[in-house]
Amino acid sequence: MAQQLDSATDHRQAADQGEAQRQERKQPYDPATQQRPTPPRVGAPPPSPAPTPDESADQPDRPVRSDQSDQPDRRPDQSNQRNQSNQPDQTGPLNAPDLSEQEPNAEAPKPGRALAHGWCALSALHSRLEAHIERALEAEAELSVREYSVLDVLSDQHDGEGGHLRMNQLADVVVLSQSATTRLVSRLEDRGLLIRYLCPTDRRGIYTNVSADGRKLLERARPVHDIALREALHDAAQRPELAPLVTAVRTLGPTSRPS
């Protein structure tokens, strides 16, 4: 019985192979590929029909992974990013103090700054006064402020004890070096405004006095000097940083000459 079943199976397979060969010979020959299309395998399911052009355009091929539903969503959370962008930058040293809760305090003045500011104001006042007076003296008497100061100081000398100034003493009064004072006195002497002579009691000492021409020029220059000084002080008093100094200058009384 088993031999009969095997024989029937062999006859069926031989018949299927013969049918497949006959179907292959019926297929048209393709000269481009030089081969006939492969006939469908006997017993295989029929191929699915190809999609029409309209269907392929409307439904693009989008393969879906079988494990896509199991993977977590890795797209960035845009709402979280928006929240982070609105947060202030908190980078910095770990031990930095939190300044957001501290009350702003006024900057404490540094030691010595007030003194430096006062000196700058005093220097500015002196420069303003000297420049204004110099222009007036040059225009009316052809004298500089230093030359006027030397004539004014030497005009107060007298023949009594300590009434004459030596060159180093004169330099201290006009606030110049001794060499600069000597050159200034020589220039005024050349103009005939000063005269120098030996001290009668000390042959090593040299006295300097204002000449007659020097006294005439000084009498003409003093009103010019005083008017220019008052004008310069009035202008400086309009500036808040100089007004206290102007008040102090106006309240000063006459002082004695340094000896």
Task: Output the domain CATH number for residue 209.
Answer: 1.10.10.10
Establish if 142 belongs to a structural domain.
yes
Task: Give me the domain span that covers residue 180.
Answer: 119-251
pTM: 0.55
Tally of structural domains, the chain? 1
Establish if 205 belongs to a structural domain.
yes
Establish if 48 belongs to a structural domain.
no
Q: What is the DSSP secondary-structure string of 222-233? A: HHHHHHHHHHHH
C-alpha–C-alpha distance, residues 170 and 173, integer Å: 5
Q: Which residues of the chain are modeled with pLDDT < 70?
A: 1-112, 253-259
Query: Do you know the residue count of the chain?
Result: 259
The SS3 call for residue 194 is strand
Question: In the chain, count of helices (H) and strands (E)?
Answer: 9, 2
| 184-243 confidence digits (pLDDT tens) | 999 999 999 999 888 777 777 788 999 999 999 999 999 999 999 999 999 999 999 999
Give the type of residue at 167: M
Establish if 32 belongs to a structural domain.
no
Establish if 21 belongs to a structural domain.
no
Establish if 35 belongs to a structural domain.
no
